[in-house]
Structure 1
Amino acid sequence: MTEDAVLGVDSSTQSCKVEIRELATGRLLGSGSAAHPPAFPPCSEQHPQDWVGAFIEATRAALAACTVTPAIRSISVAAQCHGLVLLDAHGEPLRAAKLWNDTTAAPNLAALVDRIGSGRWIRSVGSLPTAAFTIAKLAWLAAHEPATLDRAATLLLPHDYLTYWLTGARVTDRSDASGTGYFNTDAGQWIPGYLDLAGGPRDWSAMLPTVLGPCRPAGTLTAAAATALGLDAGITVAPGGGDQHAAYLGLGLDDGDQYIGIGTSGVVATSRRAPVFDPTGMVDGVADLTGGYLPLVSTLNAARVGEVAARLLGTDLPGLAELALAAGDAPGPVLVPFLDGERKPDRPDARGGLVDVTSHTTREELARAFVEGPLLSLMNARDHLRACNVDLGGAAVAVGGGTRSVATLQLLADLLDDEVTVLDADEATARGACVQAAAVAGEMDVAGLVELAKRWQPPVRARVAPRHHRRDLTALRARWAEVARSPLLDSGGPALLTPSPDHREETVR
């Protein structure tokens, strides 16, 4: 017995996850995962061939987990954004890909901001790029490995490369292209002039992938890729997209809903039909997977902060959550979690700051500070979205590995003073890729894609309401903001807690 099915891929920083879902209903038939090599700032790199190896392993595991034989009709790949993949004239990767959380290109990016101008850059691409963006990686390579760049025939993003490996087609989509720093989302065009400034004049247009619409097929599965994956050749491959963008689709969220991602990175996002241009540079006005926009603020330090805290406090993650929830109502320490630098605000050289520790500070209060610190970063992100008149009136939906922590969910609900919802979707990104694959298999238009996402929306797993407490959360947020502004957090900066009058969190470095 066989079931028509689709295969969705989430190739994240940490691993590759694959889901196989029934084409007619979205029911999960099987899943698999495989780890990627660890990668940490400041020099965070992975080789594309390692992504392929994990993709193959995860796909074969997902196929083996199916109790009925799936007849795969379409495949879609979503992946970590921003990473730079260079291919030679034969389509082979020239080096390991510099990832989104590689901060080594910060000086190169700062020089580009000076040359292009922050206002002009925001108006043309919808975002003020940081060291996370692809164009920064390109500028670094031009400065440090010019011979490698000279050999490059193709520039791709991580999801583009896996789609290329599947089909041989050099394509991307609006969501991922909008995070490069050289794509005008409104016009739907690359900006080769910005690449000239980053990497020197050359025929960039010949090196860039074609940008596909949300429901346009990328191509079909090659015989070589099919053999490696254990699938049939000729399967339709969808355009794919960025990981957060696919997760939003996979959760079936509407315009105005609050997507709060707590994974390797932290994200606050919502969808809307009109573009957003934030003059401060905090909000990235990127595209979504349905032809609209997904304004978001993405932080560098999220769930990993809890892992650090558990190690320092001699416990595990459940133990950390138990400690944090037992902290009581006393003010306690405050953590600004810029442990590996920070992306938004753009502070690549920053380090974390823990203040208000006294001789009476308890282990429980320290645990709460470490769990709460990344959430305070996300609350700050949410404030910036609202300052851009972005509607956040919908439900607050938390997603990502951090939602496994009961303390994270409870403290988030307390800070929002609103209910937090967790949907029953452990792999929202892979699920979103399945939704897109199903839409492409059914030859749907964008309206059909959106309707399908709502029809496949996962049920609610948990709802967490804010507690009745006596903590002054307004004062807590003000204290966090005061410490976050401090130049003391920047390596080699002046050792003064009180910022100078002209030092603002949004300063472009």
Structure 2
Amino acid sequence: MKYVIGVDLGTSAVKILLVNQNGEVCNEVSKSYPLIIEKSGYSEQNPEEWVEKTKAGLAELIAQFDGDVNDIEGISFSGQMHGLVLLDENNQVLRNAILWNDTRTTKQCQEIYDVVGKQRLLEVTKNPALEGFTLPKILWVKKEEPELFARAGVFMLPKDYLRYRIAGNIHMDYSDAAGTLLLNVAKREWSNEMLELFGLSTEICPPLVESHALVGNVTSEFAQATGLSEATKVFAGGADNACGAIGSGILSEGKTLCSIGTSGVVLSYEERNDLDFHGKVHYFNHGEENAYYTMGVTLAAGYSLSWFKDTFAKEEAFDQFLEGVDEVPAGSGGLLFTPYIVGERTPHADPIIRGSFIGVDASHERKHFARAVLEGITFSLNESIEIFRSSGKTIDSIISIGGGAKNETWLQMQADIFNAKIEKLTSEQGPGMGAAMLAAYGCGWFSSLKECAKSFIQTSKTYNSIPENVEAYKQLFIIYQQVYAQTKKLNEQLSQFRK
């Protein structure tokens, strides 16, 4: 039996999967590492932590492997998007990595709009200027740490730096480059226009490759430290959302994914590079060659539920906490929740807006509030689905993964609110499986990622919408959409009292 390894470099931990030719996960290891938060709004990590924890995780995986290490043919990567890793001319790290959830770059985002113009930025990069993206971080370092920036030779994204340390070569794949605001997404090349406008050299950008591209072999040093074979092939990998799409089989037109973790993502496959969503959703290169995906984000999806549980029932398990929500009819007895507890991303890119419970009644019990939270999260995700549908996309089947796929009532709720068939996967490994599939395809096990998905991914259960619930939720969704506009000014006034 042959094997591949998928490495998912997340924000809080690296997750490593050993996958065989049947798509079965034979072992998995996770190693956590800390965030560095020096000031409010700052979020950094030491890239060396990624390397050391991955090294330790791989060594543990290999130590537990009872086969021939030479049968592990390939390794590939999924990684947190947008993070800035700056290297000097000798490829040494210049400073801590600035992560995707760092929000210090508001001024730089405005600078990008002032210099490029909002419309031109969308034409070139397909995305608005948001604090999380990479170019604003580069401009921040250039302004605030000019002596350090003068020594910069190349920038990388987190998983690309990890892969460089494993294989010794510097590259970036298209799916991760799409989140930098420096890539011409449609043309699949670094934008000379963007680089010139901000006085950046083309040399600072790594060579671009496909996600399944072979970029080297495991170095002798890394092989010695982990037990891997030097013959193990190293493939480029992709952005976490692109790999999550691959690992869920989102590989053809109309295929759509709903992933509910701390944040929530609705992601849809796109064949074309010329659709115009007016910047309302993200538009990135896929990990599959010559394909794209659009994506809407709810900032506090699962986080809204965990916040509510931890605030009012900290000691209870989620299953216990959600008991009784299936007894509450659609609409939670006239109680509505908006999940804006840390601001919002899609369709309202607003860091100041905050959440609301609307319609609290003396008859409401805890189960009504819990169901309202689930419904509010799902309404927020439905805003992204409606943006896709309004552009002409047909979305009638959605694969649900993450926390939202662990509760039967919530899965049925998604079917009813989205008015679509919801599919739950037999084995859900998300981005790590996508990385493993890129390695499997790169090793030649399959003729395409689609063929790989047919073998590796199966549906365990399907949820169909209930017509009377669909009608009730259509009416409620109209009310939900009014809450943002009607609470925006109130939240701006309240913001001065937040500590």
TM-score (norm 2): 0.90
Residue 288 of structure 1, aligned match among 269, 286, 289:
286
Q: Deviations over 1:8-60 (max 9, x none)?
A: 111122321111122x4333322211223257883332222222233223323
Tell me if structure 2 keeps the 8 A contact 1:9–1:18. yes
Superposition CA RMSD, Å = 2.5
Are 1:456 and 2:455 counterparts? yes
The aligned counterpart of 1:240 is: 237
The aligned counterpart of 1:431 is: 433
- Could you tell me how far apart the structure 1 residues matched to 2:474 and 2:418 are? 11
Q: SS state of the match for residue 272, structure 2? A: coil
**What's the offset of the Cα at 1:190?**
0.9
Q: SS state of the match for residue 492, structure 1? A: helix
- TM alignment of 1:248-259, pairs within 5 A: 248-253=245-250, 254-259=252-257
Q: 1:234 to 1:284 in 2, by over 3 A?
A: same
Q: SS state of the match for residue 463, structure 1? A: strand
The aligned counterpart of 1:505 is: none
Higher mean C-alpha deviation, range 485-494 or range 105-114 = 485-494
Q: SS state of the match for residue 264, structure 1? A: coil
The aligned counterpart of 1:397 is: 399
**What's the offset of the Cα at 1:493?**
4.6
Q: Deviations over 1:186-239 (max 9, x none)?
A: 222212442455xx5242x11111110243211221122222322122421111
Q: SS state of the match for residue 269, structure 2? A: coil
- Could you tell me how far apart the structure 2 residues matched to 1:127 and 1:118 are? 9
**What's the offset of the Cα at 1:367?**
1.0
Give ranges in structure 2 of 5+ residues lacking alignment. Answer: none
Tell me if structure 1 keeps the 8 A contact 2:124–2:184. yes
The aligned counterpart of 1:503 is: none
Q: SS state of the match for residue 430, structure 1? A: helix
**What's the offset of the Cα at 1:494?**
8.1
- TM alignment of 1:344-359, pairs within 5 A: 344=346, 345-359=348-362
The aligned counterpart of 1:360 is: 363
Q: 1:480 to 1:202 in 2, by over 3 A?
A: same
**What's the offset of the Cα at 1:349?**
3.0
Q: 1:281 to 1:465 in 2, by over 3 A?
A: same
The aligned counterpart of 1:19 is: 17
Q: Deviations over 1:383-433 (max 9, x none)?
A: 11122223424x210112332233432321221233311112331211111
Q: SS state of the match for residue 270, structure 2? A: coil
- Could you tell me how far apart the structure 2 residues matched to 1:489 and 1:384 are? 24
Are 1:63 and 2:62 counterparts? yes
Tell me if structure 2 keeps the 8 A contact 1:425–1:458. yes
Tell me if structure 1 keeps the 8 A contact 2:248–2:257. no
- Could you tell me how far apart the structure 2 residues matched to 1:489 and 1:134 are? 30
Higher mean C-alpha deviation, range 298-307 or range 430-439 = 298-307
> Which amino acid in structure 2 is aligned with residue 49 of structure 1?
E
The aligned counterpart of 1:303 is: 302
Q: 1:148 to 1:385 in 2, by over 3 A?
A: farther
Tell me if structure 1 keeps the 8 A contact 2:437–2:449. no
The aligned counterpart of 2:340 is: 338
- TM alignment of 1:194-213, pairs within 5 A: 194-197=194-197, 200-203=198-201, 205-213=202-210
Tell me if structure 2 keeps the 8 A contact 1:29–1:65. no
Q: SS state of the match for residue 58, structure 2? A: helix
Are 1:388 and 2:388 counterparts? no
Are 1:440 and 2:437 counterparts? no
- Could you tell me how far apart the structure 1 residues matched to 2:419 and 2:492 are? 38
> Which amino acid in structure 2 is aligned with residue 63 of structure 1?
I
Q: 1:424 to 1:15 in 2, by over 3 A?
A: farther
Tell me if structure 2 keeps the 8 A contact 1:324–1:371. no
Tell me if structure 2 keeps the 8 A contact 1:419–1:466. yes
Are 1:8 and 2:6 counterparts? yes
Q: SS state of the match for residue 29, structure 2? A: strand
Q: 1:491 to 1:132 in 2, by over 3 A?
A: farther
Q: 1:66 to 1:323 in 2, by over 3 A?
A: farther
Are 1:227 and 2:224 counterparts? yes
- Could you tell me how far apart the structure 1 residues matched to 2:226 and 2:354 are? 42
- Could you tell me how far apart the structure 2 residues matched to 1:324 and 1:141 are? 48
- Could you tell me how far apart the structure 2 residues matched to 1:492 and 1:39 are? 29
**What's the offset of the Cα at 1:274?**
0.7
Give ranges in structure 1 of 5+ residues lacking alignment. Answer: 496-509
TM-score (norm 1): 0.88
- Could you tell me how far apart the structure 1 residues matched to 2:371 and 2:243 are? 31
**What's the offset of the Cα at 1:90?**
2.9
- Could you tell me how far apart the structure 2 residues matched to 1:143 and 1:486 are? 38
- Could you tell me how far apart the structure 1 residues matched to 2:485 and 2:5 are? 45
> Which amino acid in structure 2 is aligned with residue 228 of structure 1?
A
Tell me if structure 1 keeps the 8 A contact 2:277–2:391. no
The aligned counterpart of 1:266 is: 264
Tell me if structure 2 keeps the 8 A contact 1:8–1:18. yes
The aligned counterpart of 2:147 is: 147
The aligned counterpart of 1:328 is: 329
Q: 1:182 to 1:468 in 2, by over 3 A?
A: same
- Could you tell me how far apart the structure 1 residues matched to 2:9 and 2:58 are? 12
The aligned counterpart of 1:176 is: 176
The aligned counterpart of 2:424 is: 422
Tell me if structure 1 keeps the 8 A contact 2:395–2:420. no
Tell me if structure 2 keeps the 8 A contact 1:7–1:434. yes
The aligned counterpart of 2:119 is: 119
Higher mean C-alpha deviation, range 365-374 or range 271-280 = 271-280
The aligned counterpart of 1:95 is: 95
Q: 1:38 to 1:325 in 2, by over 3 A?
A: farther
Q: SS state of the match for residue 377, structure 1? A: helix
Tell me if structure 2 keeps the 8 A contact 1:309–1:320. no
Higher mean C-alpha deviation, range 320-329 or range 356-365 = 320-329
User: Structure 1 stretches (4+) deviating beyond 4 angstroms?
Assistant: 38-41, 467-471
> Which amino acid in structure 1 is aligned with residue 391 of structure 2?
C
Q: 1:462 to 1:51 in 2, by over 3 A?
A: farther
Q: SS state of the match for residue 382, structure 2? A: helix
Q: SS state of the match for residue 278, structure 1? A: coil
The aligned counterpart of 2:107 is: 107
- Could you tell me how far apart the structure 1 residues matched to 2:96 and 2:277 are? 34
Tell me if structure 2 keeps the 8 A contact 1:74–1:437. yes
Tell me if structure 2 keeps the 8 A contact 1:353–1:489. no
- Could you tell me how far apart the structure 1 residues matched to 2:480 and 2:419 are? 18
**How many pairs does the alignment contain?**
485
> Which amino acid in structure 1 is aligned with residue 235 of structure 2?
A
Residue 377 of structure 2, aligned match among 374, 377, 397:
374
Tell me if structure 1 keeps the 8 A contact 2:3–2:18. yes
Q: SS state of the match for residue 153, structure 1? A: strand
Q: SS state of the match for residue 296, structure 1? A: strand
**What's the offset of the Cα at 1:489?**
6.8
> Which amino acid in structure 2 is aligned with residue 319 of structure 1?
Q
